[in-house]
Structure 1
Amino acid sequence: MKLIKAEEIEFFYIFPEDDLIKEETTLINDLIMPENWANLPMGRYTSKQLIEMLQNGADTRLAIFKVNARLATIPLKKEYDAYQTHCLFWTNKDINLKELDQKIKDDSYTDEDFSSAVIARLQYAFCRHCHNKYIALVCDDEIYTSMYFINIPKRVPWRDYCNKLNNYCNKKRGMIKIIRCPNCNELIGIYVVRFFDKVEDGN
């Protein structure tokens, strides 16, 4: 695992050989409040097989992001950081992620290496047409807006910051080829970049 910064986003890049659960646990245990709803450690809730698939995919890597959470139990003047594990999904299939792994280890990577990557969350995706439910990778603006990924210089108007954020999110959304339901081929209303297993009733 290595802390890097790309496209103004700071995050921990997870290499294929890393122990995800160990890395997540170490980071979360160092927080002011380790056990909290804002922490989303993938290793606790996702199958080992799926983690390994995402951690060493031809177009995917895992990354741990720091997010900001405001809690009623903490004075508003203090900010509480939480950690969430998401997936980096490259829309450019010509990317060689094994080469990128080495570039990151050598500190020779650039923003260009991440220009075609979108941040996606692992979640359930429900099709309202055929009523099937799947585990899927989904791109969501909330992932971006909940992170410290744009350094706001002092005296920059809030409107300018929001415009920059919206433009960035629109750019990333525009890279995504939205996938339809594997069963009925209908759109399901969210930005799904990949479907995995179908979830049976009761799960």
Structure 2
Amino acid sequence: MPENTHATPESHEYDRFAELAVESADYDRVDEFLNNRVSFTPREWAIARLCADFRTGTGVEMTKIGEHLPELVPFMSEPYSRQAVYQARRDFEEKVRIAGATFLYGAYSEFVTADELDDLMYEAVETAKFLLEVEGADVSLEDELTTEERVRTAMQEVREASAELRYDRCPHCGEQLGDD
């Protein structure tokens, strides 16, 4: 993350996507990579990242981000309007919300086995870590382990709640089932 999050894109040396610049990545290559791993587009990814990095106490300078988009992100070739920046950020947030609900529903309803869930989590963690590395961020081992433990605990609670709901209690009133 930039040291001064109150700086504007023009006054801040921004190298979040420096690795992509070194690799001369273009939009199509980034899009192909993301299509195979996540549900957001390169445009949504870059703009969501910029909005997070350049957030100030009064909000985000979406006009400035849009005007300087090609300078800030090597695979973006043209500036965006304030409205396009806002829409890309909203699209990203919506896809994250939907992906979370889809994942939890699959786990909660046991459409995926515990082993499959473990594989999904491993792949998701590796993809997230890679994207963060591309952005130039470091994830400490302690942060990684803490996050994995939070997810593991949440998923255990989902599994327990699912089993209780399906086998022990009425989904409407919570009354104990099967004691007749």
Smaller-chain TM-score bracket: under 0.3
Larger relative contact order (C-alpha < 8 A, sep ≥ 6)? 2
Q: When you count helix as a share of all residues, which structure comes out higher?
A: 2
Identify the structure with the greater strand proportion. Answer: 1
